[in-house]
Amino acid sequence: MTPPTLTYVMTLRVHVGDPVDFGQVPRGRRRVIPILGGTFGGPKIRGTVLPGGADWQIVRDDGLAELDTRYTLQADSGGLIYIQNAGIRHAPAEITKKLLAGEAVDHSQVYFKTVPIFETSAPDLQWLTRAIFIGTGERQPHDVIIKVWKVD
């Protein structure tokens, strides 16, 4: 069997607000990070990240963050795209502490992977609904950058 190849699709630059920290809940530390806006673009698509939505996180006691991010994209063509981007992020304890404090870190020290799922009614964007995608992430103090690839 031949392993699948990846085709680059887009880079999302998502501006995020300050986390709302709910504290310790049964599964870990609950945090909600609001989506404030942003941009995205790639070879076949570009547009704006609309304000609204959030990243609903659970940070487990072992430092692994379970990510559940949901928000809206608007392509330059006008089409609206709902994105649900589930993933995980983890790093050594000292790096995780800096991430949770909103500090800049060397992204090469962080494992940050996602599986975006797209929904749209726009006819020209249906290709987003007919494939599996994976993403690699980088957390900056006020932005999250996700590079998205299609699994071929």
| Close Cβ partners of 99 (under 8 Å, ≥ 6 residues apart) | 89, 91, 105, 110, 139
pLDDT digits (tens, 9 = 90+) for 65-121: 999 999 999 999 999 999 999 999 999 888 888 877 888 888 899 999 999 999 999
Look at strands 132-139 and 46-49 and give their pairing: unpaired
Q: How does residue 131 score in pLDDT terms, banded at 50, 70 and 90?
A: very high
pLDDT digits (tens, 9 = 90+) for 29-74: 999 999 999 999 999 999 999 999 999 999 998 989 999 999 999 9
* Single pTM value for the model: 0.92
Asked if residue 1 is part of any domain, the answer here is no
Please report, for the domain that includes residue 87, its CATH number.
Answer: 2.40.160.20
Asked if residue 10 is part of any domain, the answer here is yes
Residues of the chain above pLDDT 70, percent = 100
**If you average pLDDT over residues 121-137, what whole number do you get?**
98
Are the C-beta atoms of 100 and 72 separated by less than 8 Å?
no
Specify the number of domains making up the chain: 1
Report how many helices (DSSP H) and strands (DSSP E) the chain contains, helices first.
1, 10
User: Residue 150's pLDDT is what?
Assistant: 98
pLDDT, averaged across the chain: 95
Asked if residue 127 is part of any domain, the answer here is yes
Asked if residue 73 is part of any domain, the answer here is yes
Q: Which range marks the domain in which residue 120 is found?
A: 6-151
CA–CA separation, 95 and 75 (whole Å): 35
